Amino acid sequence: FSGGFYNSSYDDDEMSWAAVWLNICTGKESYIDDICHIDSQGNYTGYMKQIIKTTSSTWQNIWVHSWDTVWGGVFAKLAPITDDPLHWYIFRWNLEYWSGVQHENSADSTYLEKTPAGFSVISTWGSARYNAAAQMCALVYNKYDKEQRFVEWAKSQMDYILGDNPMHRCYEVGYDETSAVEPHHRASHGSLTNSMEDPVDAKHVLYGALVGGPDFDDYHEDDRTNYVYNEVAIDYNAGFVGALAGIYEQYGKGQETLKELPQDNDEHAFFVEGKMEQENAERTQLTVRVTNDTACYPRRVGNLSARYFFDISEMAAKKQSIKDLNLAVMYDEALTVDGKGTKVNGPYAWDEENNIYYVELNWTGDFFHGDREIHFALVPQLDSEWKPNWDPTNDYSREGLTDDFARTDKITLYEGDKLVWGEEPGRGEVKPAVSASVANTKAGDELDFTEGVTPITLNADVKNNENVDKVEFYVNDEKVGVATKAPYSVEYTPVQEGDEETKDLVITAKAITSSGIEVTSKAYQITARFEKAQASVITIT
């Protein structure tokens, strides 16, 4: 659907184009008859009736194979199949008209007007695309009926397109230093504001794209906003690549192709900006803006997350903990624009020993290119004396923020688990968290060993265990085993002492890191019940 911009004049040419290719693929003559059928009175009734009424008529094609009319291609394929003189005439006359090669009828002086520098222009809107398509057709003609003049004309036109022109400009993007650099192309430009003027320079080189080309006076503006001069499109490059293939066939023997194109890299594919909205001794309120500015290649990303790091030392000094901090969201652009709310997760410990924590802002599942903002607040609860304990100035991610948006590398950004922007704060070693338990037994349970004592399994669940070297297990403060690999567990057999019938077993686990940090779990207590001791019997005989 063209949306009104590229309406087709009619479809007889497209139907003919399809039919001729179907004939080539299947060999069925009926497809050719669909194009050329004539009734008993000599009237064309096939698709060709759109341009030729009767067998006594003729037709001269002044246009070219293009997005609207494809008769040029139809006759380029039809003439070699039918070998009909009329079909060959229409095919050749079009190329004579474009190239200026003398018509077979020497009395015919109908030719396409050229620019002062000799470039054939049928329309100034995308002049190079039409010219390139005509070159392609001329080179196709030469395959069937050698005509060196068509070949030389095509080469002269291609030389013009590639820079041999009064503007000394190459109309193929990325070809050389004279190439047009501002094609009218959204993705290669890479605007985050949907503006053709922002940024000033395109972020990506659209290698190989043919821009619109010159006007009737050989003039061209390398201006992204001027789609007449600098539009690019698939139909532009279709004829251009076809013509280049024909030129290469004629002149490219022995030339080596470029093994690979130069690759552009994003300077900053992702970045974060922030600004303070409100801050005092009772809260920090700010807006974070994350940006996906990928241009090489542009892509929507759906697994971004950001971290805002802060320090709660002032809360810890007043016997408060991270549990006394609340989070609030004032505005979420993703929820408004995409209908997918940003997940605000945490707070999480980063360097617990030094009271450093972070909040995670997570856009997982929200695929976007451009930016998303979220306005949120860190709000501490009042302490036991009904006073707030909050100092935003010591927060790592607060550094450098003002009431205007500015880039900051103190708020980090991640694509999945990969850090793609910013610098994380340093931190001391994260302490492991340890909890002890007994397999298949709840804390406080009594285990029955009255029928005999059997081993039990002591377990330790260790979080943040990356640096844990070993876990020691204790029962009633006596070390009873060591585990060096997760999952951490040891076997232990309770021991009945004397005539005791029950015995409390207080179990703890101690995780020890490679740097010597030791963390002991809370006590996990169970009770063992043993067989009742038998009274000693002395027999006197």
In the chain, the domains with their CATH numbers are: 1-84 (no CATH), 113-254 (no CATH), 270-421 (2.60.40.710), 433-530 (2.60.40.10)
Look-up of token digits 């900051």: 408
What does the block give as tokens for 464?
């943040």
pLDDT-derived band at 1 (thresholds 50, 70, 90) equals very low
Asked whether the predicted pLDDT for residue 427 surpasses 90, the reply is no
Q: Which residues pair with 468 in a beta bridge?
A: 513
Interval 98-149: pLDDT, tens: 999 999 999 999 999 999 999 999 999 999 999 999 999 999 999 999 999 9
- Is the CB of residue 45 less than 8 Å from the CB of residue 55? no
As a whole number, the mean pLDDT across the chain is 93
Interval 68-87: pLDDT, tens: 999 999 999 999 999 999 99
pLDDT of residue 353: 86
**Edge-to-edge strands, sheet with 418-421:** 343-351, 356-362, 304-311, 412-415, 418-421
Asked whether the predicted pLDDT for residue 457 surpasses 80, the reply is yes
Interval 174-209: pLDDT, tens: 999 999 999 999 988 888 888 999 889 988 899 999
**Amino acid identity, residue 244?**
L
- Is the CB of residue 37 less than 8 Å from the CB of residue 31? no
pLDDT-derived band at 534 (thresholds 50, 70, 90) equals low
What does the block give as tokens for 524?
């996990």
Look-up of token digits 């038998």: 534
Closest among 238, 73, 79 to 144, alpha carbons compared: 79
Active site residues: 184, 222, 231
Asked whether the predicted pLDDT for residue 2 surpasses 70, the reply is no
pLDDT of residue 8: 84
Asked whether the predicted pLDDT for residue 307 surpasses 60, the reply is yes
How far are the Cα atoms of 220, 333, 340, 363 from residue 368, in angstroms, in the given order?
36, 12, 11, 9
Least confident interval from 191-200, 320-329, 424-433 = 424-433
- In sign, the C-alpha dihedral spanning 101, 104, 106, 108 is negative
> 10 Å Cβ neighbour count for 154?
27
- Is the CB of residue 526 less than 8 Å from the CB of residue 507? yes
User: Percentage of the chain surpassing pLDDT 70?
Assistant: 97
pLDDT of residue 344: 97
Is this prediction's pTM over 0.75?
A: no
Interval 338-391: pLDDT, tens: 999 999 999 999 998 899 999 999 999 999 999 999 999 999 999 988 999 999
Asked whether the predicted pLDDT for residue 299 surpasses 70, the reply is yes
Interval 490-518: pLDDT, tens: 999 999 988 899 999 999 999 999 888 88
406 Rama class: left (phi>0) / alpha (psi -120 to 50) / beta: beta
What does the block give as tokens for 109?
């002086």
When pLDDT is averaged across residues 311-318 and rounded to a whole number, the result is: 93
pLDDT-derived band at 267 (thresholds 50, 70, 90) equals confident
